[in-house]
Structure formats: C-alpha cells, structure tokens
Amino acid sequence: MASVVITLRIMPNSPQTDLHSIEAKAKERIMAFTGKDEFRVETQPVAFGLNSLIITFVTPEEKGSTEEVEKQIAQIEGVSSAEVTDARRSIG
C-alpha cells in the first residue's frame, strides 16, 4: 500500500508567536491523524522577522484528505493559517 508524504506550512499570527508551542500542538494533531510520530520540522523565514513552520510527515494513502487536520491546526492559538504545500505519493 502506498503512503503520502505531506508538507504543511503553518503561519503564525506575528513574529512574537511561540513557534515551539505551535509545533508541539501541531504534532499532537498530526499524530492523531496519522498514528505515527515521525516528522521533519523546519522554520522558514517569511518577512520582517516572521518565520513559518514547515512540517513534513508521512500518512497512509487510505487516510484520504488532510483537510480536517489542516483545520484543526489552523485553530491553534497563535496560528494564522495552515496549508498543505506539497503532497507526494510514495510507494514502498
């Protein structure tokens, strides 16, 4: 069965937002969705001191759409938006 590699970009409300707190809460929601605790997390400069969180994770293809987990992450305090920027099918 195939897996899907998802890249999710999380934008905070401001440069002062605690990215570590957002990361921890986002990981909890992703683990509940995928059943796995394997992530790659990066911060990416946006502009004027604002950084986004980039979280890459693998989910089984049969899980379907990531729309629900995106909505859950977007509701975390301090998050402006959460969107999938890349989804790739991985066979193996």
pTM of the model: 0.92
Question: What is the per-residue pLDDT for 18?
Answer: 96
Question: What is the per-residue pLDDT for 90?
Answer: 87
Question: What is the per-residue pLDDT for 64?
Answer: 87
For the chain, give every domain's residue range.
3-87
- H or E segment at 31? helix 19-34
Question: What is the per-residue pLDDT for 69?
Answer: 95
63-80 confidence digits (pLDDT tens)? 889 999 999 999 999 999
- All residues at 6 or more sequence positions from 54 whose CB lies less than 8 Å from its CB, including other chains: 7, 8, 9, 10, 41, 42, 43, 44, 85
Cα four-point dihedral sign 46, 29, 84, 75: negative
* Intervals of the chain under pLDDT 70: 92
What kind of fold does domain 3-87 have according to CATH?
A: Alpha-Beta Plaits (3.30.70)
Question: What is the per-residue pLDDT for 48?
Answer: 93
Question: What is the per-residue pLDDT for 92?
Answer: 64
